[in-house]
Amino acid sequence: MAVRRRPRDTGAGERPAPDGDAAMEIAAHYLGTRPRTRWELERRLRRAAASDEVIADTLDRLAAIGYVDDTAFTRWWAEQRDRHAPRGRRMVEAELRQRGVPRDVLESLRGSELSEPGPDEILPSTEADRAQAALQRHLKGRPLPDDAKARQRVGAFLMRRGFDPEAVRATLRAAARVEIDDD
């Protein structure tokens, strides 16, 4: 059964462009689900047909009260990735670029680790630790395959997750050593 969608009203009932307060309301509602980048909020306000001046004022007001901070968003995103679906640094940076994080923010955080665990949290801090966490999550308690072809597929899986080749090789070697030690 096909789902029917309501046609968009493009005639006389068109909504007026939002003013400053309405734009703040739209942005606050959009920020209600998760943190957003400045670029994402700008796109949302443009979709609502806000003027350039209203968009700039709204984004500046939100930045002043701390609701829009691309650096904080970058750290939050990397922490969420480490906690729920570990990815390599390259993949995390690509995802952040897709969300409009400026290049200078990424470059300033590139030297330091993107996510810094709190005192009571234990999150992977290095690329190899993140690769190990991704491998454990992928294997779901199963042993690492003995077959060379199967190990190659596991390595390709980690490479697709954005881990660099050195981290993948080190992770696979370490996992193989652990299994030998367990026997």
Residues 68 and 23 sit within 8 Å (Cβ to Cβ): no
* Co-location of 177 and 157 in the same domain: yes
* Co-location of 133 and 90 in the same domain: no
* Co-location of 138 and 173 in the same domain: yes
pLDDT in tens, the chain (183 residues): 566 766 665 555 577 888 889 999 999 999 999 999 999 999 999 999 999 999 999 999 999 999 999 999 999 998 888 888 888 888 889 999 999 999 999 888 776 655 454 444 455 668 888 888 888 888 888 888 888 898 899 999 999 988 989 989 888 888 888 766 665
23 contact partners, CB below 8 Å, separation of at least 6: 45, 48, 50, 54, 55, 57, 58
Closest CA to 106 of 33, 37, 32: 37
The Cα–Cα gap between 110 and 127 comes to 12
- Per the structure, the complete domain to which residue 158 belongs is given by 127-182
10 within domain boundaries: no
119 within domain boundaries: no
CATH at 42: 1.10.10
97 within domain boundaries: yes
| pTM of the model as a whole | 0.67
